[in-house]
Structure 1
Amino acid sequence: MNFIICVILGFGIAMAGSITPSFLNLTVVKFSLRNGKKAAFYLIGGYATVLFFQANIGAYLSSILMENSEYITLLQKIGTGLLFLLSINFFRLHFSSKEKKVKEEIPKSKAYLHGIIMSSLNTIAIPFYFTTISLLIGLSYFEYSYLNGFYFSVGSTIGSFTLYSLYAIVAEKIEHKLTYIATKMDFILGCLTGFVGLGNLIYLLSQ
């Protein structure tokens, strides 16, 4: 398969998967407002590092998990528990910190590590890539190989980094309009992760 096609497919799917509100892009907004655009870019770098491997794993497992759905269920159970823990932590941050947050510098390594941890907790990514790549394979738009999987992952990494960077840039430019949202960001993140976790739990219980 053509290198450019694989990269474009990865880029487009990553953009589509990252554009909707989630705890990842809202965390980018929070970092940009509280710690500056540079820290947000290092956070996004952490995201991109993990997303590269998640996309690669999703592509590799697309032909295996079709016949072994119990592994997907296991991933969903682990992910659901992590999402609830993450939600509790965001609510804790919201209710324990009532003072106005001011922008402050944060070490680059800390922002990058935070990005890696946050992206690793996003266990929805692998099932997302698995599902979309399986659909592409079924429609004969994608033929899996180690090289094609690598190219796809490169494209998805670039796509995710680009979109998250736009969130960081926009957040800084309209900071005065997002003051209220920024003060509620931890609460919003807690609601989002809790909602996704609850959705996963309901789905698992219905199986």
Structure 2
Amino acid sequence: MSVLLNFVIGFFAALIGVIPPGLLNLYAAKISMKEGRKRGLMFSLGVCITVMLQTYIALVFARILDMHPEYVTILQQVGLGIFICLTVYFFFIAKDTRRQIPEGIERSKTNRFFSGMLLALLNLLPLPYWLYVSITFAGFGWFSFNQLELLATVLASGIGTFAMLAIYVWFFRKKEQPKKKGINMNYIIGGITAIISVITFFKIFNSF
């Protein structure tokens, strides 16, 4: 019963965590629009592998970090630096997503899989998120840190994340000969990372 409970908590926590438009789900949507849904799904699968690893690490250290909240502050500081770098990248360095893809160029699905893994590595939010979720539910006696239950949660986090990313991918169709320029999605992603940077900054500032 505890394994099933951990799985359900892990699935819905992952699903809810990816619902708000963020870096990874909007990037998956952008790939779907530019290159098709298959490559968007491959990117999402790569993201899920990394998310499962991050979930495992977070759960292993959940109780330790709960007794030492200063470690969570360190994670927030590292995350702040990463999101500032991402904001600069998407606003000033990344290529304009409104440019058409030249005919005859094929992008590797394998490359999209690994790009999903690498981009997810830059997102440290799952670490404090899963620390909070696991410790909170453990306090109610609904979450177990035994090895089998922990693995069930890790698997559920991957499935839940992929399910929500797949929804984003599915509802963004591949662009075909657009008649007019739309919005550069890099600006949207950059704006989101900027907002996250500001929120993280104030959280760190208030902790001092």
Please give the TM-score of this superposition, normalised by the length of structure 1: 0.90
**Alignment partner, residue 59 of structure 1:** 59
Per mean C-alpha deviation after superposition, the further-off stretch among 139-148 and 82-91 is 139-148
- Gaps of at least 5 residues in structure 1 are none
Contact 1:33 / 1:182 at 8 angstroms: preserved in 2? no
- Tell me the distance in 2 between the aligned counterparts of 1:166 and 1:160: 10
**Alignment partner, residue 167 of structure 1:** 168
- Tell me the distance in 1 between the aligned counterparts of 2:168 and 2:129: 21
- Tell me the distance in 2 between the aligned counterparts of 1:154 and 1:52: 7
Shift of 1:118: 1.3
- Gaps of at least 5 residues in structure 2 are none
Contact 2:7 / 2:153 at 8 angstroms: preserved in 1? yes
**Alignment partner, residue 204 of structure 1:** 204
Q: Name the one with the larger helix percent.
A: 1
- Tell me the distance in 2 between the aligned counterparts of 1:69 and 1:183: 41
Question: Alpha carbon RMSD of aligned pairs, Å?
Answer: 2.3
Shift of 1:123: 0.6
- Tell me the distance in 2 between the aligned counterparts of 1:5 and 1:205: 36
- Tell me the distance in 2 between the aligned counterparts of 1:132 and 1:169: 28
Contact 1:44 / 1:112 at 8 angstroms: preserved in 2? yes
**Alignment partner, residue 35 of structure 1:** 35
Shift of 1:206: 2.2
- Tell me the distance in 1 between the aligned counterparts of 2:181 and 2:52: 30
**Alignment partner, residue 45 of structure 2:** 45
Q: How does 1:18-33 map to 2 (within 5 A)?
A: 18-33=18-33
Check 1:114–1:128 CA distance in 2 against 1; reply closer, same or farther (3 A cut).
Answer: same
- Tell me the distance in 2 between the aligned counterparts of 1:75 and 1:181: 39
**Alignment partner, residue 150 of structure 1:** 151
Shift of 1:6: 1.9
Contact 2:45 / 2:116 at 8 angstroms: preserved in 1? yes
Paired AA for residue 187 in structure 1: Y
- Tell me the distance in 2 between the aligned counterparts of 1:179 and 1:59: 49
Shift of 1:3: 2.6
Q: How does 1:37-186 map to 2 (within 5 A)?
A: 37-93=37-93, 97=96, 100-102=99-101, 105-172=106-173, 183-186=183-186
- Tell me the distance in 2 between the aligned counterparts of 1:113 and 1:126: 20
Alignment length (residue pairs)? 204
- Tell me the distance in 2 between the aligned counterparts of 1:23 and 1:36: 18
- Tell me the distance in 1 between the aligned counterparts of 2:52 and 2:179: 33
Q: Does 1:12 align with 2:12?
A: yes
Contact 2:96 / 2:184 at 8 angstroms: preserved in 1? no
Check 1:181–1:85 CA distance in 2 against 1; reply closer, same or farther (3 A cut).
Answer: farther
- Tell me the distance in 1 between the aligned counterparts of 2:114 and 2:84: 21
Shift of 1:184: 2.2
SS of corresponding position for 1:78? helix
Shift of 1:44: 0.6
Shift of 1:93: 4.2
Shift of 1:29: 0.6
Contact 1:36 / 1:105 at 8 angstroms: preserved in 2? no
